């Protein structure tokens, strides 16, 4: 553990994304790196941290990810949402909005701290989206509490760029 004032810097573009294990909306303990693997091969991933289930901006963001989900899967990308809500709340949120992607419960905020996701307006957990390439290197970080749909657009644009380089 780092001493106060000697905090590790936030995960940024060009960094390897830290792996972690959290419970999903079904109460299963899952490893992020396993969610990125399809047919035995790691692929790109979109990891989005959001403040709270069922709030207006978070619902909008999750529903835009849902509406564009096919574009992510066509790019070979996994989509994973993380908030401090418990698995039961995630299950209700996913069912209410027909969310096809995994939601993870970071109840103690350890993964949020691991990534260096800042608080917003001092009080609220931040809204930050990371796009990882197939090697697990961060290709994009977008931090905006008030433009939830912009997270999706930027993630799609970044995945297009990753595919163009491949």
* Relative orientation angle of helices 87-97 and 56-67, to the nearest 10 degrees: 60
How large a percentage of the chain has pLDDT more than 90?
80
Cα 83 vs. chain centroid, distance in angstroms? Answer: 9
Architecture of domain 21-165: 3-Layer(aba) Sandwich (3.40)
- Banded pLDDT at 164 (limits 50, 70, 90): confident
CB-neighbour burial class of residue 3 (10 A; exposed 0-12, middle 13-18, buried 19+) = exposed
Q: Phi and psi of 165, rounded to 5°?
A: -80, -25
Summarize the confidence of residues 119-145 as an average pLDDT: 90
Whether residue 49 contacts residue 125, with contact meaning beta carbons closer than 8 Å, is answered with yes
- Banded pLDDT at 5 (limits 50, 70, 90): very low
Report the distance separating Cα 100 and Cα 37, nearest Å: 16
Catalytic residue selected from 46, 47, 58, 162: 58
Q: Phi and psi of 106, rounded to 5°?
A: -105, 65
- Banded pLDDT at 2 (limits 50, 70, 90): very low
- For residue 159, give the 3-state DSSP assignment: helix
Predicted confidence (pLDDT) per residue in 36-85, tens digit: 887 677 889 999 999 999 999 999 999 999 999 999 999 999 999 999 99
Catalytic site residue 58? yes
Whether this model's pTM surpasses 0.75: yes
Domain positions in the chain are 21-165
CA end-to-end span of the chain: 38
Burial 52-88 (b: 16+ CB within 10 A, else e): ebeeebbbebbbbbbebbeebeebbbbbbbbbbbebe
- Banded pLDDT at 16 (limits 50, 70, 90): very high
DSSP 42-106: E--EEEEE-S-TTSHHHHHHHHHHHHTHHHHHHTT-EEEEEESS-HHHHHHHHHHHT--SEEEE-
Look up residue 109 and give its DSSP letter. Answer: -
């Amino acid at each position: 553990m780092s001493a106060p004032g000697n905090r590790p810097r936030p995960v940024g573009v060009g960094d390897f994304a830290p792996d972690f294990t959290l419970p999903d909306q079904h109460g299963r303990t899952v490893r992020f790196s396993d969610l990125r693997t399809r047919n035995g091969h790691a692929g790109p991933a979109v990891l989005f941290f959001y403040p709270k289930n069922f709030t207006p901006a978070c619902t909008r963001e999750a529903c835009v990810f849902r509406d564009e989900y096919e574009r992510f899967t066509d790019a070979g990308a996994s989509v994973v949402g993380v908030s401090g809500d418990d698995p039961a709340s995630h299950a209700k949120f996913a069912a209410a909005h027909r969310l096809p992607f995994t939601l993870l419960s970071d109840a103690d905020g350890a993964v949020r701290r691991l990534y260096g996701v800042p608080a917003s307006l001092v009080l609220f957990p931040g809204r930050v989206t990371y796009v990882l390439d197939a090697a697990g290197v961060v290709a994009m970080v977008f931090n905006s509490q008030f433009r939830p749909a912009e997270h999706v657009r930027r993630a799609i644009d970044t995945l297009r760029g990753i595919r163009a380089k491949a």
